[in-house]
């Protein structure tokens, strides 16, 4: 099974900060990667698919990049509603593994 690692596991940031989260796959997955945002008690919300395509309705401050084994989710200017946990997931092969998550909280 393909393993996904995320770094950092958590971070503290201020409103307006630029935030970068990294997801690394144990083997190449082309661009078959998605990013989700999850707030406590809620279902995950899709943000990015195919590594860099922005989900409809998601603010443009979110962006994704990468291919192969290294991927990045960037929030260009952190907003109060962005404090949440972020997960990456690969769709290259079964099982469709998730990363362990990155929790973004308020500094």
- The binding site for another protein (CB under 8 A) comprises 1, 31-34, 36, 38, 43-46, 49-50, 55, 87, 89, 91-101
Task: Say how far apart CA 15 and CA 23 lie, in whole Å.
Answer: 23
Task: Say how far apart CA 101 and CA 17 lie, in whole Å.
Answer: 20
Task: State which residue, 78 or 89, has the beta carbon closest to another protein.
Answer: 89
| Residues contacting residue 27 through CB under 8 Å, at least 6 positions apart | 2, 69
The residue behind tokens 């949440």 is 84
Task: State which residue, 78 or 102, has the beta carbon closest to another protein.
Answer: 102
Q: How far is the CB of 13 from another protein (least distance, A)?
A: 20
Task: State which residue, 37 or 75, has the beta carbon closest to another protein.
Answer: 37
Task: State which residue, 19 or 33, has the beta carbon closest to another protein.
Answer: 33
Sheet with 19-25, strands from edge to edge, namely 4-7, 19-25, 70-75, 62-67
């Amino acid at each position: 099974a393909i393993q996904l690692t995320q770094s950092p596991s958590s971070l503290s940031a201020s409103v307006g900060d630029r935030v970068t989260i990294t997801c690394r796959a144990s083997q190449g997955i082309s661009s078959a990667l998605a990013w989700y945002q999850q707030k406590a008690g809620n279902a995950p919300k899709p943000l990015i698919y195919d590594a860099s395509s922005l989900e409809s309705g998601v603010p443009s401050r979110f962006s994704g990049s990468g291919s192969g084994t290294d991927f990045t989710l960037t929030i260009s200017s952190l907003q109060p509603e962005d404090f949440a946990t972020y997960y990456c997931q690969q769709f290259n092969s079964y099982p469709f593994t998730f990363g362990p998550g990155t929790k973004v909280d308020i500094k």
